[in-house]
Structure 1
Amino acid sequence: MKTPLKDPQSVTPDGERVAPLIEGVRIRRAVTHPDERGTVCELFNPAWGFHADPLVYVYQVTIRPGQVKGWVVHRIQDDRLFLSQGTMKAVLFDDREGSPTRGQVNELFLDHHNRGLLVIPAGVYHAIQNVGADDLFFINMPTRAYDHANPDKYRLPLVNDLIPYRFQS
């Protein structure tokens, strides 16, 4: 009979992630304030000092259950994603020359009970999967506005030779 493997710790007793994040990736957990009328949840406030760049552009993305959007990388801008509704798996891959975490993959999970603001630095590939049963909604507040004539957006297929990660259906 095989000895069962001990489950590795993934979070501290306070709920903080144990595995290291890719250099420059940050998560700020959001507080949702409920009352009898509904809820209020702050998405972004420059006073937090969480990201130095100003708010210049905002848009909402939806992903249907089981679907994946990505792989995408930006060379100039950072993305600042705020999970609003649903269950998100964000997978990140650091391909930045000279980064101390180059080659590292992060899997990060957020949902509407555990909302947060996720900073994805320029040069980090990312793909977002809806792992819930309902549509996923997130807000992106990138550090530069989308330029339709010259977008800072580069794509790879989900299965490729660069990123050592495979999504499960």
Structure 2
Amino acid sequence: MNPELPAVPDRQTVTPQGQSIQSLIDGVKVRLAVTHPDERGDLCELYSTAWGFDDEPMVYAYFASVRPGQTKGWVKHLLQTDRLFFALGSFRVVLYDDRPDSPTYQKLNVLHFSDRKRGLVRIPAGVFHAVQNVGTVDACFVNNPTRAYNHAQPDKYRLPLDTPLIPFDFAPTLGG
């Protein structure tokens, strides 16, 4: 190695078993999905109470898409927990703990999902979140929040994507 070139070694991101070493924000859960392919297509379970993933009932569900290069967020809820299932496309999911009484207050998590790594994420009330399509086709997710949407008084609190209050930049970066 040329001692004059300032090379930086990679840091560990996963265990030898492929599990992320990133510690999650308090109350955030991730359950990777199993996709069952056969000659007819794929089957992938989105949610089951049998998993014990969350103790709140299913009350509402919606499907959303994100265009390539677009980001939805920053948003947080005060009353509901989101349960997002990332189904199609390539997503970068960024979470920021805005709960002053949380043991992980001001912690940031960055998660990735795709067609090859589908998953369910539980995002508690008070945690800002944004989903970014980092792929080249529309990306889709399903949300099963713990409360039905209140059209008259939405439980959504927003910040602009470029807010200085959250230490994250959504600007595209070159791969390494």
2:15 aligned with 1:12: yes
Give the match for residue 132 of structure 2.
Answer: 129
Overall identity of the aligned pairs, in %: 54
Residue in structure 2 matching 1:154, options 137, 154, 157: 157
Which amino acid counterpart does residue 8 of structure 2 have in structure 1?
L
Give the match for residue 78 of structure 1.
Answer: 81
Q: What does the per-residue CA deviation read over 1:58-101, in whole Å, with 9 as the maximum and x for residues that have no partner?
A: 00010000000000000010000001100000001001021111
2:122 aligned with 1:119: yes
Residue in structure 1 matching 2:42, options 24, 39, 44: 39
Give the match for residue 146 of structure 2.
Answer: 143
**Higher alpha-carbon Rg:** 2
Q: Structure 2 CA distance, aligned partners of 1:62 and 1:2?
A: 43
- TM-score, normalised by the number of residues in structure 2: 0.94
In the TM superposition, structure 1's runs of 4+ consecutive aligned residues that sit over 6 Å from their partners are none
Q: Structure 2 CA distance, aligned partners of 1:141 and 1:125?
A: 17
Task: Count residues with an aligned counterpart.
Answer: 169
Which amino acid counterpart does residue 126 of structure 1 have in structure 2?
H
SS at match of 1:47: helix
Pairwise CA RMSD: 0.9
Q: Structure 2 CA distance, aligned partners of 1:165 and 1:6?
A: 22
Gaps of 5+ in 1: none
Which amino acid counterpart does residue 141 of structure 1 have in structure 2?
N
- TM-score, normalised by the number of residues in structure 1: 0.97
